[in-house]
Structure 1
C-alpha cells in the first residue's frame, strides 16, 4: 500500500501536466489566430485609408451627348495615395440605386484614352451609356463604389440631351 500512494500521485501529476499542455496549446493557437486576424484587418484598413476619390462634376451641368443612346460623363479624381483600378471589373456605378451594367461603362483619361488604373491626383472619366435619356430637370443620385468598398455619391440634375 505504501507504494500505491506515490504511484497515484505520479499519475495525477502526469495528467495535470498533459491537461496544462493542452490548454496552453489551445491558447497559443487562439492567440495566433486573433493576431493574424488583427494584422489582416489592419492591412485592409490601411488600404482603405490610402485609397480615396471624389466625384468632381458640377451637379447642375452634367455633360451629355447623343440622341439615343445617350452618354453621360462623370469625372472622378483620385485624392488618395495609391492608384485606383479603373475598370468595370473593379468599379460599380449606380444611378438611383440601379446598377449600370459593365457593358454600358467606359473608363478613360481626360483626353479620351482608355485606361485601367487612375494614378494619385489624376482625373479619370466614367462614361455611362443609356438607351433612354434621364428625365431632364429631375434629380438623380450617382453612386460609385470601388473594389475595396469605398463609395462616393453625387446628386445631380439631369441635363437636356
Structure 2
C-alpha cells in the first residue's frame, strides 16, 4: 500500500501535463486562426483604402440626351492609387435605391471610347439609359458601388 500514494500522484501529474498540453495546443490554434483573420481583414481594408473614386458632376446640371430613351451622363474620377475595374460586372449603379440593370449602363472614357478600367486619376463616364425621363427639377440620388464595396453617392437635380 505504500507504493499506491506516489503512483496515483504520478498518474495525476501525467494527466495534468496532458490536459495542460491539450489546452496550450488549442490556444495556439485559436491564436493562429485569429492572427490569420486579422491579416486577411487588414489586407482587405488596405485595398479599400487604396481604392477611391468621386462622382464629379455638377449636381445642378446633369447632362441628358435623347427624347426617349433618355441617357444621363455621370463622370467618375479615380482618386485612389489602384486601377478600378470599370464594367457592368464590377460596378453597380443605383438611382434612389433602385438598381439600374447592367443593360442600361455603358462605361466610356471622356472621348466616348468603351473602356474596362480606370487608371489612377483618370476620368470615366457612366451613361445611364432610362426609358422614361427623370422628373425635371426633382432631386435624385445616384449611388455607384465598386466590386470591393467602396461606394459614393451624389444628390442631383434632374434637368
Query: Shorter-chain TM-score: what band?
Result: over 0.9
Deviation at 1:33, TM superposition (A): 0.9
Q: Tell me the SS of whatever aligns to 1:73.
A: strand
1:144 equivalenced with 2:144 (yes/no): yes
1:97-112 superposed matches below 5 A: 97-112=97-112
1:16-27 superposed matches below 5 A: 16-27=16-27
**TM-score when normalising by structure 1:** 0.96
1:7 equivalenced with 2:7 (yes/no): yes
Number of aligned positions between the proteins:
159
Contiguous gaps of at least 5 residues in structure 2: none
Cα separation, 2, equivalents of 1:57 and 1:124: 11
Cα separation, 2, equivalents of 1:9 and 1:58: 82
Residue in 2 that maps onto 1:42? 42
Residue in 2 that maps onto 1:73? 73
Residue in 2 that maps onto 1:119? 119
4+ residue stretches of structure 1 with deviation over 3 A? Answer: none
Deviation at 1:64, TM superposition (A): 0.7
**TM-score when normalising by structure 2:** 0.97
Residue in 1 that maps onto 2:130? 130
Which string of whole-angstrom CA distances, capped at 9 and with x for unpartnered residues, describes residues 95-144 of structure 1?
11111011111111111111111110000000001000111111111111
The CA RMSD measured in Å over matched residues stands at 0.8
Deviation at 1:2, TM superposition (A): 1.4
